[in-house]
Amino acid sequence: MTLSPYYEPELETLSQRQLKALQSERLQHIVRYVYDNNAQYRQRFDSAGMEPNDIHGIDDLGLLPLMSKEQLRDNYPLGLSCVDKKTLVEMHMSSGSTGVPVVMPYTRGDLEQWASCMSRCYRMAGVEPSDVIQITPSFGLFNGGFGFYHGAQNLDLFVVPTGAGHTRRQISLARDFKTHALTGVVSYATRILEQLEATGETLPDLKVCMFGAEIFSNSMKEKVCSGLGVEAFDIYGMTETGGVGTLGMDCSAHDGLHVWEDHYLIEILDPKTQQPVADGEMGELVVTALTREALPVIRFRTADLTRIVSRQPCQCGRTHVRIAPITGRLDDMLIVKGVNFFPVQVEQALMSIPGVRPHYQIIIEDDHGVKDVRVNVEVDEGVTGFMVERVLKEALGFSPKGDVFKPGELPRQEGKAQRVFYSQK
């Protein structure tokens, strides 16, 4: 018997009208809820000159003040929690580049909401009960490991909880337990692929990869898919929204990420004016959590850049809005020699060169305020620095300096890969 491709068919295929009505009702509720249960929210709404009764539906969203990562950091550990600490059952945390933590506490209801979002993602990737799923992010403060786990438990999948690292052991477990789906951080897939290529082994049972947590170019995705012989899904979420999978994933049409709009209201705003951009235009994703209990973010500025792909129903039958894969973060944009670019553009150009490996570094050299960029990349024999430089010049409009390295020469990291480094002269 083939299972339904949906986990919650009715909710995933609501008509636009039904969806808007549900979102409006939930928005009114959540705004009243945070106002009544947390003094910080109350104060911020009061300062913005609004009160919960002003919100009649999603068209009034713009009346609510925007929320920044700093606010979450300033309220470490539980200053923005809307529930009694006794009702909390779990927490996750991200430290980001500044090291000041952002904490997300969970009630039992929040864990169930997370598991439902994740279950939708698994179903969308065609993963079925008793399929073997290998979870490669760490089981710890990072939400990745536990998020994949909660969803998998909810669907009765067979979990191989390898956690991070130990690539050789990951491969032997995947082979011995016939892993069907591999989940984790994008750059870890490249580590597994590298190891397989070095030994000539294959993982014939592996059919699906669910990867996210990092911005990745299409060409990187193609390399991973063809190398591992899998279909890769781009899964999206963040600590502030409740973790991996909460915001959505692409379906096998791979035409944008389906946002779980009954749980999260999204806006795409111009980062400068903070006004909505037209559909199709790039902007900052701003998220309101409609169904979380412990810490529902309201108009949270994610700093992630994306655009609306379509509001029309997808060929998979789901009706929620689709957004483009994340192309950059506001704080990621590099400016060198008067040219603005995102690291993913360098990756896209590098990965389009046959024989270039998915391991690279972008080094921003600062010589008394004058910036230059150096790109180091691993390549197979026969690929020269000149070939790399030519492609980068074409893509970026200027020639970065750089060196080519043999496979395995650049350092590897566990977890999210650091691609950009800064050096002072």
Is 137 an interacting residue with respect to ligand DLL (CB under 6 A)? yes
Nearer Cβ to ligand DLL, position 137 or 256? 137
In the complex, minimum distance from the CB of residue 406 to ligand DLL, in angstroms, rounded to a whole number: 29
Q: What three-state secondary structure class fits 355?
A: coil
Exposure b/e, 227-239, CB count within 10 A at least 16 = b = bbebebbbbbbbb
In the complex, minimum distance from the CB of residue 385 to ligand DLL, in angstroms, rounded to a whole number: 29
Nearer Cβ to ligand DLL, position 208 or 238? 238
Q: How far apart are CA 173 and CA 160, in angstroms?
A: 8
Q: Which stretch binds ligand DLL (CB under 6 A): 192-200, 228-236, 369-377, 386-394?
A: 228-236
Is 52 an interacting residue with respect to ligand DLL (CB under 6 A)? no
Handedness of CA 75, 81, 87, 89 (dihedral sign): negative
* Pair 75, 105: CB distance under 8 Å: no
Is 215 an interacting residue with respect to ligand DLL (CB under 6 A)? yes
Nearer Cβ to ligand DLL, position 14 or 104? 104
Is 170 an interacting residue with respect to ligand DLL (CB under 6 A)? no
In the complex, minimum distance from the CB of residue 149 to ligand DLL, in angstroms, rounded to a whole number: 12
Neighbours of 368 (CB within 10 A): 6
The continuous run of DSSP H or E covering 238 comes out as strand 231-238
Q: How far apart are CA 312 and CA 193, in angstroms?
A: 36
In the complex, minimum distance from the CB of residue 60 to ligand DLL, in angstroms, rounded to a whole number: 26
Q: Which stretch binds ligand DLL (CB under 6 A): 56-64, 76-84, 139-147, 196-204?
A: 139-147
Q: Which stretch binds ligand DLL (CB under 6 A): 168-176, 213-221, 270-278, 313-321?
A: 213-221
Exposure b/e, 96-126, CB count within 10 A at least 16 = b = eeeeeebbbbbbeebbebbbbbbbbbbbbbb
Residue nearest to ligand DLL (CB): 212
Q: How far apart are CA 100 and CA 117, in angstroms?
A: 28
In the complex, minimum distance from the CB of residue 330 to ligand DLL, in angstroms, rounded to a whole number: 10
Question: Which of 94, 162, 170, 319 lies at the binding interface for ligand DLL (CB under 6 A)?
Answer: 94
In the complex, minimum distance from the CB of residue 373 to ligand DLL, in angstroms, rounded to a whole number: 21
Task: Show the binding pattern over residues 285-304: x = contacts ligand DLL (CB under 6 A), - = does not.
Answer: -----------------x-x
Which has the closest alpha carbon to 3: 127, 114, 120, 121? 127
* Pair 266, 259: CB distance under 8 Å: yes
The continuous run of DSSP H or E covering 225 comes out as helix 218-228
Question: Which of 60, 112, 214, 231 lies at the binding interface for ligand DLL (CB under 6 A)?
Answer: 214
Task: Show the binding pattern over residues 232-271: x = contacts ligand DLL (CB under 6 A), - = does not.
Answer: --xxxxxx---xx---------------------------
| Phi and psi angles of residue 376, each rounded to the nearest 5 degrees, phi first | -105, 135
Is 144 an interacting residue with respect to ligand DLL (CB under 6 A)? yes
Q: What three-state secondary structure class fits 189?
A: helix
The residues binding ligand DLL (CB under 6 A) are: 94, 137, 142-144, 185, 212-215, 234-239, 243-244, 302, 304, 325-326, 329
